[in-house]
Amino acid sequence: MRRRVVITGMGAITPLGNTVKELYENQLQGRSGVGAIQAFDATRFPTKFAAHIKDFDLARYVPAAERWKYSGVNTRFAVAAAQQALADAGLLSHDRGDRTRFGVYLGSGEGIQDFQNLMSLVAHAYDPQARKLTVAQFCREGMNAFHAECESEQELHTTAAHIATAFQLEGPNYNCLTACAASSQAIGEATELIREGEADLMLSGGSHSMIHPMGVTGFNLLTALSTNNEEPQKASRPFDQRRDGFVLGEGAGMLILEELEHARRRGATIYAEVEGYGTTADAFRVTDSHPDGRGAAACIRDAMKDSGLSLEDIGYINAHGTSTQVNDRVETLAIKKIFGEQAYRIPVSSSKSMLGHLIAAAGAVELITCVMVMHHGVLPPTINYEYPDPECDLDYVPNVAREKRVRHALSNSFGFGGQNITLIVGLPA
């Protein structure tokens, strides 16, 4: 019999709040986290806005926060969200038993946004005469700068390593970076590890920020970002006919995944069960989804098969919903291919209309939203939905939150390069 996997803790650092509660409540209010880019001078860029994290101080979440002073923002966001999730699950002080059965699987991005600052730090550290440092101080600060530079170069895995070290999680340790699908894939693969008996607990999710000159430049060159600089809070408008691209965001979402009987034995609060996981590749173009939605549809189909649910069981879909012309049309088509006429009866909303696109962290934060929907019975809206697109003709919960009891929810994540992930969660029986 396949082992069942449940969610027993959650944590979030997002443009709509730095806790799960703040995230969900602000989504229900239809608030936008978008504003002018603060990380650098963007006045000469085609896109001058993004969805930044606000009022973030790692010291509010963990003691000795200075140990991550030289780490990238990905790591700092991840540590804070991980601490929240572990505390929520009652695992910060709980006897975890065999630590080699508690692992980490993240979808975490690069730390290039810190590269320029780190180079300044290196130059500063290696000017002992101007700073009148002792030889010992010079060596110590130079080594700190070197370690920071190395972390920026190797950020793909150091975040997972930092999490494991900080919280003494000695089980399987992985990181994947399948672009916008990364944290959803991490959660799916972490679920498989528990199902197959390779672990009993996994801390899984993602952390990312691409709000830096290279990130904005790259997406502008791809014409993927909105350039609605006049009304940035209305720029992310998934499924709306006037959509012109997505909005960059940043943040982290972390979940504690746990084998059901293990959770029951320790009296854990069980928020949801991970019921289905599907993963496919478009095998089409690196920069475009397949126009007939075949990869996305196959992914949804596989997740449904894995869950053992009927089409009528799905009460809510949290869409990938990026606010790009192609993605929104293809996702709508894929949903209709799988659900048929039932697709018109399932409410679909896009958290990215408010959060922006958290890239590698997006899927984890959106899955947390699904869990909150099932527990509170209120669907977050898709804001800025004003002009219906004939090709996007589903119920997108336009502009205003809606009450609805949901027992099973589906979350889509479709990544750059054609990576497709679908996760299905449900209230445990």
Task: Give the model confidence (pLDDT) of 347-374 as tens digits.
Answer: 999 999 999 999 999 999 999 999 999 9
Q: Residue 128: its pLDDT value, please? A: 47
Helix (H) and strand (E) counts for the chain? 13, 14
The mean per-residue pLDDT over the stretch 32-47 comes to 95
- Mean pLDDT in residue range 100-127: 65
The residue among 81, 96, 78 whose CA lies nearest residue 19 is 81
pLDDT at position 264 over 80: yes
Reduce the DSSP state of residue 174 to 3 states and report it: strand
Q: Is pLDDT above 60 for 385?
A: yes
Higher pLDDT, 144 or 330: 330
Collapsing DSSP to helix, strand or coil, 336 comes out as: helix
Reply yes or no on whether the pLDDT at 11 is more than 50. yes
3-state class of 8 per DSSP? strand
Query: Given the structure tokens 């996007």, which residue do they identify?
Result: 392
pLDDT band at residue 136 using 50, 70 and 90 as cut-offs: low
Assess whether pLDDT exceeds 60 at residue 143.
no
Residue 193 pLDDT more than 80?
Answer: yes
Task: Give residue 111's pLDDT band: very low, low, confident or very high (50, 70, 90).
Answer: low
What's the pLDDT band for 110 if we cut at 50, 70, 90?
low
Residue-level pLDDT at 122: 46
Q: Binning pLDDT at 50, 70 and 90, where does residue 121 land? A: very low
- Report which of residues 70 and 36 the model is more confident about: 36
Confidence (pLDDT) at 138: 47
When pLDDT is cut at 50, 70 and 90, the band that residue 91 belongs to is very high
The set of residues, in sequence order, having a beta carbon less than 8 Å from that of 13 and lying 6+ positions away, is: 53, 56, 77, 80, 81, 207, 251, 252, 253
Q: How many Å apart are CA 188 and CA 316, to the nearest integer? A: 19
Whole-angstrom Cα distance, residue 65 to residue 374?
Answer: 34
- Name all domains of the chain by residue range, CATH numbers in brackets: 5-116+153-426 (3.40.47.10)
pTM for the model stands at 0.91
C-alpha count within 13 angstroms, C-beta hemisphere, residue 168: 9
Nearest-angstrom CA–CA distance, 184 and 362 = 8
Closest CA to 102 of 273, 259, 268, 207: 259
The band of 340, judged by pLDDT with boundaries at 50, 70 and 90, is: very high
* 293: phi then psi, degrees, rounded to nearest 5: 70, 20
Please give the Cα distance from 236 to 322 (Å, whole number): 8
pLDDT of residue 283: 87
Burial class of 128 by CB neighbour count within 10 A (0 to 12, 13 to 18, 19+): middle
- Could you tell me whether strands 408-415 and 316-318 are parallel, antiparallel, or unpaired per DSSP bridges? parallel
pLDDT per residue over 212-227, tens digit each? 998 999 999 999 999 9
> pLDDT digit string (tens) for 306-326?
999 999 999 999 999 999 999
Please give the distance of CA 240 from its chain centroid, rounded to a whole number: 23
Q: Which of 184, 160, 188, 154 is nearest to 172 (CA)?
A: 160
- What is the per-residue pLDDT for 149? 43
pLDDT tens sequence across 40-75: 999 999 999 999 999 999 999 998 898 888 788 999
273 vs 268: CA distance, rounded Å = 13
Pairing of strands 419-426, 272-281: antiparallel
What mean pLDDT is predicted for residues 14-31?
A: 98
Query: Average model confidence (pLDDT) for the chain?
Result: 90
Residue 112 is predicted with a pLDDT of 52
Query: 138: Cβ–Cβ under 8 A, 6 or more apart, which residues?
Result: 125, 126, 128
Confidence label for 132 from pLDDT (cuts 50, 70 and 90): low
Q: Show which residues are catalytic.
A: 180, 320, 357
Q: pLDDT at position 158, please?
A: 82
Token pair in block for residue 170: 């000695």
- Residue 289, pLDDT score: 80
Q: Out of 182-186, 286-290, 322-326, 395-399, pick the least confident.
A: 286-290
At 251, the amino acid letter reads G
User: Who has greater pLDDT, 151 or 290?
Assistant: 290
